[in-house]
Amino acid sequence: MVKAAFASWNDRIAPVFDVAQWIELVETDTGHIINRNKASVAGETPSQKASRLAELEVGILVCGAISRPMQAIITAYGIEVIPFIAGDLQEVIQAWLCGKLAGSDEYLMPGCQRGGGRRLKKMRETKGGQSMSNGNRRGKGRSGGRKDAGIANRQGPKRAGQRQGGRSGRSGASGQAAAYGTCVCPQCGYQEPHERGLPCMDKKCAQCGAVMTRQ
């Protein structure tokens, strides 16, 4: 027999488990549901939430976004965590029963990748970054510099400056999101880059007005 818990909110998977209040408990035997009910997990600390799951004899937790400390404590209880899942609660439960949840990207939250895709991407960027950087410097040192100078002269100082400023603005925003993480709304799932020095809990969701949390 397997007992799985699905973090729930308004008949959907709760976007952030750290602030989730309810779970849907599903007990199965040989792939068939034999019992199903709703239970509260309204603990104030990660330890209380993890202890509550252990008390309910949960073996698998399916949830949305979850902080690393919370996930570490839950897995320390021997509970398997399937994180960053989104979608209709009934559809997610059915996909899990059919064995399609773990191997499919269909129910992943936006921006998430299966099987450590984020870490693999970072490793590739780190390995290839040096050679790409060196190549860019060599290109600018030879013909690239003259070519860029000619384009800037034809466009004029104002247009060239605007083009360069646009690039730096976009790269600065993406760099900030990578360095400082993301603020997430636990109510509607809205996300925006975390601003350094401004706690997410001091910000309100631009869509529903709820207090944001850090991802």
Looking at domain 2-97, its CATH superfamily turns out to be Dinitrogenase iron-molybdenum cofactor biosynthesis domain (3.30.420.130)
Helices then strands, counting H and E runs in the chain, come out as 6, 9
What predicted TM-score, i.e. pTM, was given to this entire model? 0.55
Once rounded to an integer, what is the mean pLDDT over residues 88-100? 93
Reported confidence tier of residue 137, pLDDT bands at 50, 70, 90: very low
Q: Quickly state the pLDDT bin for 118 (edges 50, 70, 90).
A: very low
Share of the chain above pLDDT 70, in %: 68
Specify the pLDDT at position 27: 95
Residue 79's nearest CA partner among 94, 92, 66 is 66
Domain ranges of the chain: 2-97, 174-215
> For the stretch 162-188, what's the b/e string if a residue is b when 16 or more beta carbons lie within 10 angstroms of its beta carbon?
eeeeeeeeeeeeeeeeeebebbbbbbb
Sheet holding 182-184, edge to edge: 191-193, 182-184, 213-214
pLDDT for 146 beyond 70: no
Indicate the average pLDDT of the chain. 75
Condensed to tens digits (0 to 9), the pLDDT of residues 167-191 reads 444 444 444 444 567 888 877 888 8
Q: How do residues 74-92 score in pLDDT, each as one tens digit?
A: 999 999 999 999 999 999 9
pLDDT surpassing 50 at residue 69:
yes
